[in-house]
């Protein structure tokens, strides 16, 4: 039983060319068009879309192999099997933003 558990960090990654950025672009256009046609309601819809896009602009990757993981709830990397559980290093509150 000397199998070593590989420990890695989840890394939060901004994706400028991803789905989130596309939504943000649509949101900006919607803001202008809806704002011009619907007034403040249209602007609010655009802003809401923009915020939604911001949430989609992030993805989590494995700090060990760099592969994409499902989110911050993932405990083990599906690719390299690295564990994201905090191995007693005591920096659970630290995130790379
Ligand atoms: Zn990995």
CA 43 to chain centre: 25
Ligand 1 midpoint to CA 10 (Å): 9
What is the average per-residue pLDDT within 66-85?
91
| pTM flag (> 0.75) | no
List, for residues 17-60, the tens digit of each pLDDT value. Answer: 677 888 889 999 999 999 999 999 999 999 998 888 887 788 88
Give me the torsion for CA of 20, 93, 2, 78, rounded to 10°.
-10
One DSSP character per residue, 12-30 reads EEE-TTSHHHHHHHHHHHH
Ligand 1 midpoint to CA 88 (Å): 19
Q: Is the pLDDT of residue 92 over 80?
A: no
E strand map for the chain: 10-14, 58-62, 68-69
Q: How far apart are CA 94 and CA 18, in angstroms?
A: 25
Ligand 1 midpoint to CA 6 (Å): 9
Ligand 1 midpoint to CA 54 (Å): 25
Ligand 1 midpoint to CA 81 (Å): 6
């Amino acid at each position: 039983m000397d199998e070593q558990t590989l420990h890695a960090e989840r890394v939060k990654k901004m994706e400028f060319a991803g789905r989130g950025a596309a939504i943000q672009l649509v949101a900006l256009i919607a803001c202008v068009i809806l704002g011009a046609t619907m007034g403040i309601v249209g602007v609010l819809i655009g802003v809401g879309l923009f915020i939604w896009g911001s949430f989609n602009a992030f993805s989590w990757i494995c700090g060990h192999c760099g592969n994409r993981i499902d989110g911050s709830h993932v405990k083990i990397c599906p690719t390299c099997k690295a564990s994201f559980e905090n191995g007693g290093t005591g920096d659970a509150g630290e995130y790379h933003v």
